Amino acid sequence: MPQRSVVFVVFPDALLLDLSGPLAAFELSCETAGREPAPYRLTVASVAGGLVRTSSGLELMTRSLAEVGEVDTLLVVGGPGVHEAAAHGPLLQWLTAHAAQVRRVCSVCTGTFVLAAAGLLAGRRVVTHWGSCKLLQDRYPQLTVSPDAIYERDGPVWTSAGVTAGIDLALALIEDDRGHGEAIRVAKRLVVFLKRAGGQTQFSVPLALQEADDAGFEGLHRWISDHLMEDLRVEVLAERASMSPRTFARLYAARTGRTPAKVVEELRLDAARRALEETRQSIKEIATRCGFVDEERMRRAFRRQLGVSPQDYRDKFGAAEVGRFPSS
């Protein structure tokens, strides 16, 4: 394999982990190559070059984009400064001028906004941090935003979800270049899964609901979480909220962006996930305690939302010290 140039584009107030995670993955792939030249030449670049201050305050020494030469894989990171970067003319001009010569154009986390602003994502299926998916879709309606993907590949364009998903993206890129075995070796060195089960929203549901708490449903969400085994139909929740079912359903969806039934399933799923990770309870017991009634309904919910069965999820994420778990 010829040596490939991988260029990471940063800007003021970029998030350090968006860079360091995928950068480490490519670095370890170079280390495991065991030969010269290394499979990747890694460069951290910015528009002007020199020191760039990240959002953590740590400064990075960068090369200017004008000096990087031929690029095989371009990765634009995200961070608090991404929207200023997405309005920075020289950066967008460079991306527009060079994208056609780059084999792969990628973004980490909210770096997707920079690629979109440069006109590189029109008609593509993309992803960004779960908390910014709606903003991305609203701002760029010509895109198809995948709110639950860890990363998306659409032709030569690769985009990833929030922060640590940049590592998942880098592993996928390495697998694409150097094969499954190499990606496995790098994943082991990083002590991460090669392919995570489920999507980013499996981690975001409780946080998303907390964002909706200002809408007046904080108490209801706590009550639902404490009564997952009970009847949680819309009529029951509406009575709890002192509203008619129709008014409650309309107002709840408007304020939280989810239907009541969807939230109940997500909270049950979140509780089941934690039980699978942390306890020795059987899958049947967990299904009952979390309000799924039976194993099959919980299995369907896991397949629908996370893409895996409860047993597969437990095998991947169950705490090692808990030991072997009964399946039923």
Per the CB < 8 A criterion, the answer to whether 283 and 275 are in contact is: no
Going by C-beta distance under 8 Å and a sequence separation of 6 or more, which residues neighbour residue 259?
249, 252, 253
Our answer to whether residue 133 is catalytic in this structure is no
The two three-digit tokens of residue 224, written as one number: 């639902």
- Residues, the chain, total? 328
Exactly one of 30, 106, 109, 290 is catalytic; which is it? 109
Residue with tokens 């991305």, as numbered in its chain: 136
Q: What are the backbone dihedrals phi and psi of residue 242, each rounded to the nearest 5 degrees, phi first? A: 60, 45
Q: Which two tokens stand for residue 227?
A: 């009564």
- The b-or-e profile of 105-126 (16+ CB within 10 A means b, else e) is bbbbbbbbbbbbbbebbeebbb
d(CA 266, CA 212): 15
Burial class for 40, CB neighbours closer than 10 Å (0-12, 13-18, 19+): buried
The answer to whether the beta carbons of residues 152 and 146 sit under 8 Å apart is yes
Question: In angstroms, rounded to a whole number, what is the distance separating the alpha carbons of residues 52 and 10?
Answer: 8
CA atoms of 230 and 34, how far apart (whole Å): 59
Q: Prior bond to 37 cis, omega within 30?
A: yes
Cα–Cα dist 149/130, whole Å: 9
Instruction: Write out the catalytic residue numbers.
Output: 109
